[in-house]
Structure 1
Amino acid sequence: MSEIASRSDAVRDSAETGIPRALADLGDLVRIPSIAWPSMDQQQLVRSAEAVAALVEGTGVFDSVAIKRAAIPGTEELGQPAVLATRAARNGRPTVLLYAHHDVQPIGDEALWETPPFQPTVREGRLYGRGAADDKAGIMAHIGAIRALVEALGPDFDLGLALFIEGEEEYGSRSFAQFLSDNADALRADVIVVADSGNWDDRTPGLTVSLRGNARFSMRVRTLEHASHSGMFGGAVPDAMMATITLLATLWDADGSVAVAGLTSREAETPEYTETTLRSETGLLDGVSPIGDGSIIGRIWNKPSVTVIGIDATDVASASNTLAPEVTVVISARVAPGQSAADAYAAMAAHLRAHSPFGAQLEFFDVDLGNPFLVDTSGWAVRDVREALAEGYGVDPVDIGVGGSIPFIADLVREFPGAQILVTGVEDPHSRAHSPNESLHLDTFRHALISEALLLEKLDARTL
């Protein structure tokens, strides 16, 4: 057996035997309700960062491990605590930056959870809990892979490592760009692994090569200076709710396709993906049809979408016979690869102004933009990760697009233009990230951890 094969086998074996420990540590992280929303207990973010830092220290291979914060540009606030660890490369080996995040989404309606969201629970081959998949499993894939490398090769391997575990990804990564700028020397790497995406299914690994961007904003619609009696003036005076409903309806064609001039699509081949699979993975109700046109997966990966994700109006319990003077909505547009988020927002705002009914007054605010991303698949790191995924899963990986967004990747590209960026993940289509009953498929996690360990071994054997 060659030395290279022997190294690889040793790393695989170490990764396999380390799975139970990694899952136990993951359970401990899931128990911490690390939600970055200001209305939540912010001390939990500190607890979570400290727990992650302790795990990183425990690997015994980093030159430095620190919990850091960065300023939020335009404010006097600091962002949430992040963990930053570094280890210098030796003997001409590359440096790899491993990214994940330790903050999680709010739980939503707790009554919809089958088990408590911060009590990790295993059933039918899945670990349930908020953050079990997104993205505390990403943290443990990194930690488990490093442990395997140390156990198999010893602590004196030559690969350079940087570890960045963010604390506010779910809350918009507000201090992310500043953190990169503040710590550019420590974070600079030849390869960046972002463990915050998904896989084709629970057996087939995915390498994410495209991500849609996001243009999210709030819109206030006003038609009256004050509320009025709906019986006395209804039928002559347009209320804000009527105007809002009429305006929002112009955003889509009859089949649900986006009807906003200036929002572009990307032409690219997509794997076969059936309506049956869509229904299985989304819970689409019987009798409810998919929307849009073209291939189903192409609608998700390569076309824009528009979703109304929030509305401020009179709630049902407080309803009265009143013409509402104003309504505020939050609109999230997903931007197809190839178009800037700024151009997409400009197209949305122009469309809404042009179609405002009855002369309703519109105000736009709280604009949040994140650009789409396309991976350059020609680099040696992409070849290495594809080999590692095939070896770790026993199935060739599929290049996938993702309908969701990871806006901070644009910041990574800007700050480190020479780095090769690999977007991997531990989720499968049934993980329900951001939803009640979020879960991690245990076999997918096992394969993901082994694959990352094999990738690190390949990088440690590579001389630049």
Structure 2
Amino acid sequence: MPTVPLSETVASLIPRARAELAELVSFASVADARQFPKSECEKAAAWVAAALRDEGFQDVALLDTPDGTQSVYGFLPGPAEAPTVLLYAHYDVQPPLDESAWLSPPFELTERDGRWYGRGAADCKGGLLMHFTALRALKEHGGVPLNIKVIVEGSEEQGTGGLERYAEEHPELLAADTVVIGDVGNFRLGLPTVTSSLRGMVLMEVRVATLEGNLHSGQFGGAAPDALGALIHMLASLRDETGATTIDGLDGTGEWSGLGYAEEDFRRDAKVLDGVELLGNGTIPDRLWARPAVTVIGIDAPPVVGATPSVQAAAGALVSLRVPPGFDVGKTARALTEHLRAAAPWGARVEVTLRGSGQPFAADTFSPAYRAMAEAMREAYDEEMAVAGQGGSIPLCNTLATLYPRAEILLIGLSEPGAQIHAVNESLSPQEFERMSLTEALFLLRYAASQSAGQGV
């Protein structure tokens, strides 16, 4: 057995993790063939598969999922009677958005101001390296005391359900006693946090048509129905005067009873401009974690530069709707569809298409695995574990909870507010990476010990 503490072993592994993260970030693995070549995702998947083999994983496989993407699976056998823990991450990333707004190239890991910058650094390629670092540290301290499965998804950011459907068709593949989802993060830098709830998601594309073709606004404007104007009217109906989401048939009065979030802290984290009001009412956690929240994330309309004086014949938008636990996304999607159709003015023709979805998720935070995680976080951070909600969605969580109802599911990760995931200049705190890698290694040790002592379910 090594004489150095586990924390020092983890620290010694950070340079290797950084080098590997740079390799992973270099793949522009955006799972959207309309924007980036599919080969970038294939390269990332192949890298993950090779890394699993190098770590001694067996049965490593590239899984062709029904949505046309690849997930990567591997199994690391432990002691014969030990429990099985499934570790999850995803290699696909969000588009870089405005590349000119990045202070360094989005697909080149760059160290600046004590952070590592690059698309996917925190969400969630760093999460995969967190898993690897924890396992490597344990190997140097007597071995991994559990059976370990790893699944690395290729379409989490799309919400197209490929891995969920694959898991449903192969229910034995991901069976585990406990699942560690490495795709969320701490409520604040340095505050160890588990996520107890995830909002579900409905991603809806709406198309509006009013004319056979564009018309000269000087000749026809004032009487000819404007598709872009109709679309704006419909989108505006999704919020009330305070900015709160108001969709017919959806309850917007939920309340959050867990961790608080001061308004001034939220304004700072969200980088809200001075004088600009926040949306909605109720507490900040109510609005973030307990109520539906709609966002228009894209509009098809002529850009300002090059626009002509025309009445638009057609327009479109992509609408994201997040819903907390207790909402069913199927009913939510129907409510959103019906609301948009009813809000269309002037008899405009409306086409609404579901582009992605994921059910909300709520965890049992009083299970043996959570007790082991609380102990691990206390030792790694010298802070008590906080329990928070998460505005994002991870569709696989509900699939796993349905397939394996006795499995404990824990959500941790690297996406604290400063990481700015999904935005330009996404980054990762190396200190947070080190402490979370240590946390995971300590958790695996404590969870194994609790199960061998007969304290598990």
- TM-score band, normalised by the shorter chain? over 0.9
Deviation at 1:193, TM superposition (A): 0.5
Which residue of structure 1 lines up, in the alignment, with residue 62 of structure 2?
67
Instruction: Provide the rounded CA distance (Å) in 2 between the counterparts of 1:330 and 1:306.
Output: 11
Question: Per the alignment, do residues 46 and 346 of structure 1 end up closer, same or farther by CA in structure 2, a change over 3 Å counting?
Answer: closer
SS in 1 for 2:287: helix
1:58 equivalent among 54, 60, 72: 54
User: Could you tell which deviates more after superposition, 161-170 or 174-183?
Assistant: 174-183
Which residue of structure 2 lines up, in the alignment, with residue 345 of structure 1?
333
8 A Cα contact 1:79 1:174, kept in partner: no
Which residue of structure 2 lines up, in the alignment, with residue 234 of structure 1?
221
- Letter of the 1:12 partner, please give it: S
Deviation at 1:141, TM superposition (A): 0.6
Deviation at 1:7, TM superposition (A): 9.7
1:418 equivalent among 388, 394, 406: 406
Question: Per the alignment, do residues 274 and 268 of structure 1 end up closer, same or farther by CA in structure 2, a change over 3 Å counting?
Answer: closer
Pairing 1:314–2:310 present: no
The count of aligned residue pairs is: 450
1:48 equivalent among 38, 44, 47: 44
SS in 1 for 2:421: coil
Which residue of structure 2 lines up, in the alignment, with residue 94 of structure 1?
83
Instruction: Provide the rounded CA distance (Å) in 2 between the counterparts of 1:8 and 1:372.
Output: 45
8 A Cα contact 1:173 1:408, kept in partner: no
Instruction: Provide the rounded CA distance (Å) in 2 between the counterparts of 1:366 and 1:295.
Output: 31
Which residue of structure 2 lines up, in the alignment, with residue 243 of structure 1?
230
2:135 equivalent among 127, 143, 146: 146
Pairing 1:380–2:368 present: yes
- TM-score, length basis structure 1: 0.92
User: Could you tell which deviates more after superposition, 336-345 or 353-362?
Assistant: 353-362
2:246 equivalent among 252, 259, 264: 259
8 A Cα contact 2:233 2:343, kept in partner: no
Instruction: Provide the rounded CA distance (Å) in 2 between the counterparts of 1:376 and 1:8.
Output: 37
Deviation at 1:198, TM superposition (A): 1.5
Question: Per the alignment, do residues 262 and 339 of structure 1 end up closer, same or farther by CA in structure 2, a change over 3 Å counting?
Answer: same
Which residue of structure 2 lines up, in the alignment, with residue 3 of structure 1?
none
- Letter of the 1:195 partner, please give it: G
User: Which runs of 5 or more residues in structure 1 are unaligned?
Assistant: 1-5, 73-77
Instruction: Provide the rounded CA distance (Å) in 2 between the counterparts of 1:185 and 1:8.
Output: 39
SS in 2 for 1:430: helix
Deviation at 1:166, TM superposition (A): 1.4
Instruction: Provide the rounded CA distance (Å) in 1 between the counterparts of 2:181 and 2:59.
Output: 21
Note the 1:213-232 alignment, pairs <5 A.
213-232=200-219
Instruction: Provide the rounded CA distance (Å) in 2 between the counterparts of 1:350 and 1:71.
Output: 28
SS in 1 for 2:205: strand
SS in 1 for 2:218: helix
8 A Cα contact 1:8 1:457, kept in partner: no
Which residue of structure 1 lines up, in the alignment, with residue 269 of structure 2?
281
Question: Per the alignment, do residues 400 and 8 of structure 1 end up closer, same or farther by CA in structure 2, a change over 3 Å counting?
Answer: farther
Instruction: Provide the rounded CA distance (Å) in 1 between the counterparts of 2:244 and 2:188.
Output: 26
Which residue of structure 2 lines up, in the alignment, with residue 109 of structure 1?
98
Instruction: Provide the rounded CA distance (Å) in 2 between the counterparts of 1:321 and 1:185.
Output: 60
Deviations 1:81-125 (A, max 9, x none): x22111345343210000001122221221101011122111222
- Letter of the 2:48 partner, please give it: V
Pairing 1:396–2:391 present: no
Instruction: Provide the rounded CA distance (Å) in 1 between the counterparts of 2:14 and 2:355.
Output: 42
Deviation at 1:335, TM superposition (A): 1.0
8 A Cα contact 1:70 1:182, kept in partner: no
Deviation at 1:159, TM superposition (A): 0.9
Question: Per the alignment, do residues 250 and 68 of structure 1 end up closer, same or farther by CA in structure 2, a change over 3 Å counting?
Answer: closer
8 A Cα contact 2:31 2:69, kept in partner: no
Instruction: Provide the rounded CA distance (Å) in 1 between the counterparts of 2:309 and 2:18.
Output: 55
SS in 2 for 1:264: coil
Deviation at 1:182, TM superposition (A): 4.9
SS in 2 for 1:358: coil
- What value does the CA root-mean-square deviation take over the aligned residues? 2.0
The percent identity for this pair of structures is 39
Deviations 1:396-416 (A, max 9, x none): 121110111112222222222
Pairing 1:212–2:202 present: no
- Letter of the 2:104 partner, please give it: T
Deviations 1:189-217 (A, max 9, x none): 00000100011111101100011111111
Instruction: Provide the rounded CA distance (Å) in 2 between the counterparts of 1:126 and 1:394.
Output: 22
SS in 2 for 1:142: helix
User: Could you tell which deviates more after superposition, 49-58 or 249-258?
Assistant: 49-58
8 A Cα contact 2:200 2:358, kept in partner: yes
Note the 1:290-301 alignment, pairs <5 A.
290-301=278-289
8 A Cα contact 1:208 1:399, kept in partner: yes
8 A Cα contact 2:161 2:395, kept in partner: no
Instruction: Provide the rounded CA distance (Å) in 2 between the counterparts of 1:91 and 1:64.
Output: 17
Deviations 1:213-254 (A, max 9, x none): 111111112222333232223222321122122222111111
Pairing 1:29–2:24 present: yes
8 A Cα contact 2:159 2:357, kept in partner: no
Deviation at 1:31, TM superposition (A): 2.2
Question: Per the alignment, do residues 280 and 460 of structure 1 end up closer, same or farther by CA in structure 2, a change over 3 Å counting?
Answer: same
Deviation at 1:327, TM superposition (A): 1.2
Instruction: Provide the rounded CA distance (Å) in 1 between the counterparts of 2:146 and 2:33.
Output: 38
- TM-score, length basis structure 2: 0.93
- Letter of the 1:450 partner, please give it: L
8 A Cα contact 2:159 2:358, kept in partner: no
8 A Cα contact 1:94 1:159, kept in partner: yes
- Letter of the 2:12 partner, please give it: T
SS in 2 for 1:316: coil
Deviation at 1:158, TM superposition (A): 4.0
Which residue of structure 2 lines up, in the alignment, with residue 189 of structure 1?
176
SS in 2 for 1:186: coil
User: Could you tell which deviates more after superposition, 263-272 or 387-396?
Assistant: 263-272
SS in 2 for 1:153: coil
